[in-house]
Structure 1
Amino acid sequence: MDAFYASIEQRDNPEYRGKPVAVGYGGKRGVVAAASYEARQYGIHSAMPSVTALRRCPRLIFVAPRFENYKTVSNQIMQIFREYTDKVEPLSLDEAFLDVTVNKMGMEVATQIAKEIKEKIHRQTLLTASAGVSYNKFLAKIASDYKKPDGLYVITPEKAERFLEKLAIEKFFGVGRVTAQRMHELGIRTGYELKRYTETELVRHFGKAGTLYYQFVRGIDEREVESEYVRKSLGAEETFAEDLHELVDLLHALDEIAREVHRRAQKRNFLARTLTLKIKYADFTTVSRSRTVPYYLKTYDQLFDLGKELLLQVDDIGERSIRLMGLTLKNASNDQVMPASQPLQLSLDFRE
């Protein structure tokens, strides 16, 4: 979806249309959750501090998020996807992979399926979506971002490698800001330069991810669309109205965060054995502590007690001001799977 949260706000509030809109909190401790395309023209993006966003665009309109509304629209969109195939792998509320090799409509051309889905989404929600069509997940993801907003781009097997050779390394799915900077230091700025490195060299520089980069730049991605949904983590975090440094205040905040994680885990019947504590200091540096236990963390007391142990393991607690704290459950139970059908994999044309 195109600027999903912000587009819903502009759809539901005519006075916001054509104006720079940010979903989030506009106060000094706030963060942008999403930005409209009008706001993006000023370099505003998600996760940007609100004060920075307002400096770039003083007339920026901040709107409080309405996540229940976003979930409702997301359900509409996912239902449209499932009219065409059961092999749907959601990445977030507003994005999913679809394997349409075998599809319910019996359509022969994947690009036509994408066009039809885009039209149906716009007709039912008044929102625009961008689609990428290709023969694997990596290329489809890149293609979906290539012509935003309201775009449709196809990467065929014949043009995949040449397309990737010209692509800026920042556009590669899975290459974040830090990795891109490391690649720049190695003289890698495009797919062509990445392709000059052997798999062994990339693994030496980037660990296991090096193998993926080696394959991706050659248009290779064997991952299937996973229509089974397995939640791998669950957590909650809080950005404090004022920086905290006293242990008593931090423990009070930890209590509230642990209660929220427990509430979310109970709601989703989520069981896990690993707890990770995240701390972000006033200077925006971040540290984390993690521990795995031989039992599932089911109660609030278990979460709080283990969270407190992790907090006390942080060397400079009480000495530095803390801006944010969070807890995340990981290492989930393997039986938390919602099965879906597994259609036979055949070949399908996706002509432009």
Structure 2
Amino acid sequence: MDAFYASVEQMDNPDLKGKPIAVGGGGKRGVISAASYEARKFGVKSAMSGNLASKLCPHLIFVKPRFERYHDISKKIRRIFFEYTDLVEPLSLDEAYLDVTHNKKGNPSASLIAKEIRERILNEVGLTASAGISINKFIAKVASDYNKPNGQKTVNPEEVITFLEQLDIRKFYGVGKVTAEKMYQLGIFTGNDLKSKSIEFLNDHFGKSGRYYYYVVRGIHTSEVKPNRIRKSLAAERTFKENLSSEIFMLEKLDHIADEVSRRLIKSKVSGKTVTLKIKYSDFTLQTRSKTLPYFISDKELIFETAKELLYQEKLNNSVRLLGISLSNLNTEPKKKPEQNSVSVQLKFEF
């Protein structure tokens, strides 16, 4: 979806159409969840502080998020997806992978299917969407950003290698700002530069990710579209208007966060064993502390008491601007065989 949250707000409130808006970010310490394309022209983007966004775009309009509304619209969009294929893997409320190799419409053209889906979303929901079409998830993901907003790009099988060789390294899905800077220092600026490096070289400099980079630049990405993604964790967090310098002042905040996590767990009918406390300090450094219990929990008091224990586990490094609690190792995860002792925890921010 194109600037999903912001586009929903502009659709529901015609007075906001054509104007630079930011969803969230209001107040002294607010953080932006989404920015309209009109705001992006000024450099405003998601995860940016509202204070900085206001400096970049003085006439920026801040809109309070309405996540229930975004969830409702996301469900309508997914219902359209499922009319074409059952192989739908949502990444978030506004993005998903679809495998249309064998689709319900019997249409042999993935590009035409993408065009039809986008037209239906516009006509039935009122929002624009963009699409990327190719031979695997990685290339389709990269291509989906090419002709935004309200466009699509197809990378045919015979075009894959050339497409990847010419691609700016910053556009490779999975290469963030820090990794891109490291690649620049190693003389890697394009896919072709990346392709020239051996798997040993990439492993030495990028660890486990080296193997991933080695294969995707050659058009090899074997991850299937997984229609039933298992939730790995559930979390809630809060950014404070003023930095907190004492654990005593944080207990009330943690109590509210634990209550929210508990309500979400109960609503989702899940429970978990691993409680993780997330602490972001005033200098923006991040720390996590975790404890795995011998039993599954979803009760607010148990979550709070465990988070409280983690808070007092060691002395704080600085004043605190954000606290978060997540529960992972959920009872939705498949049971591991006895020889599989490792626990994979993927923290996922939920609004």
Q: Work out whether the TM-score is over 0.5.
A: yes
Deviating more after overlay: 190-199 vs 305-314: 305-314
What is the number of residues matched between the two proteins? Answer: 335
Partner residue of 2:15?
15
**What is the alpha-carbon distance in structure 2 between the residues aligned to residue 296 and residue 122 of structure 1?**
43
**What is the alpha-carbon distance in structure 1 between the residues aligned to residue 128 and residue 298 of structure 2?**
41
Partner residue of 1:189?
189
1:244-283 map, 5 Å: 244-283=244-283
Residue deviations 1:222-281 (CA, integer Å, cap 9, x gap): 011001131111100001121111221112211111111111111112222222211111
Partner residue of 2:51?
51
1:153-168 map, 5 Å: 153-168=153-168
Answering whether residue 230 of structure 2 is matched by residue 230 of structure 1, we say yes
**What is the alpha-carbon distance in structure 1 between the residues aligned to residue 257 and residue 295 of structure 2?**
21
Deviating more after overlay: 216-225 vs 165-174: 165-174
**What is the alpha-carbon distance in structure 2 between the residues aligned to residue 177 and residue 53 of structure 1?**
20
Deviation at 1:335, TM superposition (A): 5.0
**What is the alpha-carbon distance in structure 2 between the residues aligned to residue 182 and residue 277 of structure 1?**
30
Partner residue of 2:107?
107
**What is the alpha-carbon distance in structure 2 between the residues aligned to residue 196 and residue 273 of structure 1?**
45
**What is the alpha-carbon distance in structure 2 between the residues aligned to residue 336 and residue 66 of structure 1?**
33
1:173-212 map, 5 Å: 173-212=173-212
Partner residue of 1:344?
none
**What is the alpha-carbon distance in structure 1 between the residues aligned to residue 283 and residue 33 of structure 2?**
20
Partner residue of 1:221?
221
> What SS does the corresponding residue of 1:296 show, helix, strand or coil?
strand
Partner residue of 2:305?
305
Unaligned runs of 5+ in 1: 338-352
Partner residue of 2:70?
70
Deviation at 1:97, TM superposition (A): 0.3
Answering whether residue 99 of structure 2 is matched by residue 96 of structure 1, we say no
Deviation at 1:98, TM superposition (A): 0.3
Return the letter of the residue paired with 2:206.
F
Contact 1:231 1:336 in 2 (8 A): no
Contact 1:168 1:190 in 2 (8 A): yes
Partner residue of 1:322?
320
Answering whether residue 115 of structure 2 is matched by residue 126 of structure 1, we say no
Deviation at 1:184, TM superposition (A): 2.1
Deviating more after overlay: 193-202 vs 321-330: 193-202
**What is the alpha-carbon distance in structure 2 between the residues aligned to residue 119 and residue 24 of structure 1?**
29
**What is the alpha-carbon distance in structure 2 between the residues aligned to residue 250 and residue 240 of structure 1?**
10
Answering whether residue 349 of structure 2 is matched by residue 331 of structure 1, we say no
Deviation at 1:309, TM superposition (A): 2.1
Partner residue of 2:348?
none
> What SS does the corresponding residue of 1:325 show, helix, strand or coil?
strand
Contact 2:29 2:240 in 1 (8 A): yes
Return the letter of the residue paired with 1:321.
S
Deviation at 1:85, TM superposition (A): 0.4
Contact 2:24 2:31 in 1 (8 A): yes
**What is the alpha-carbon distance in structure 2 between the residues aligned to residue 333 and residue 214 of structure 1?**
35
| Root mean square deviation of aligned Cα | 1.5
> What SS does the corresponding residue of 1:159 show, helix, strand or coil?
helix
**What is the alpha-carbon distance in structure 2 between the residues aligned to residue 14 and residue 334 of structure 1?**
42
> What SS does the corresponding residue of 2:294 show, helix, strand or coil?
coil
- The list of structure 1 runs, each at least 4 consecutive aligned residues, that deviate by more than 6 angstroms after superposition, is none
Deviating more after overlay: 302-311 vs 223-232: 302-311
Residue deviations 1:128-155 (CA, integer Å, cap 9, x gap): 1001100100011111111100111001
Partner residue of 1:149?
149
Deviation at 1:181, TM superposition (A): 2.1
Contact 1:270 1:336 in 2 (8 A): no
Deviating more after overlay: 139-148 vs 201-210: 201-210
Deviation at 1:187, TM superposition (A): 2.0
**What is the alpha-carbon distance in structure 1 between the residues aligned to residue 293 and residue 184 of structure 2?**
40
Measured at CA, do residues 331 and 189 of structure 1 come closer, stay the same or move farther in structure 2, by a change above 3 Å?
farther
**What is the alpha-carbon distance in structure 2 between the residues aligned to residue 287 and residue 270 of structure 1?**
26
> What SS does the corresponding residue of 2:157 show, helix, strand or coil?
coil
Return the letter of the residue paired with 1:169.
I
Residue deviations 1:202-239 (CA, integer Å, cap 9, x gap): 22222222111111111111011001131111100001
**What is the alpha-carbon distance in structure 1 between the residues aligned to residue 187 and residue 273 of structure 2?**
41
Measured at CA, do residues 127 and 163 of structure 1 come closer, stay the same or move farther in structure 2, by a change above 3 Å?
same
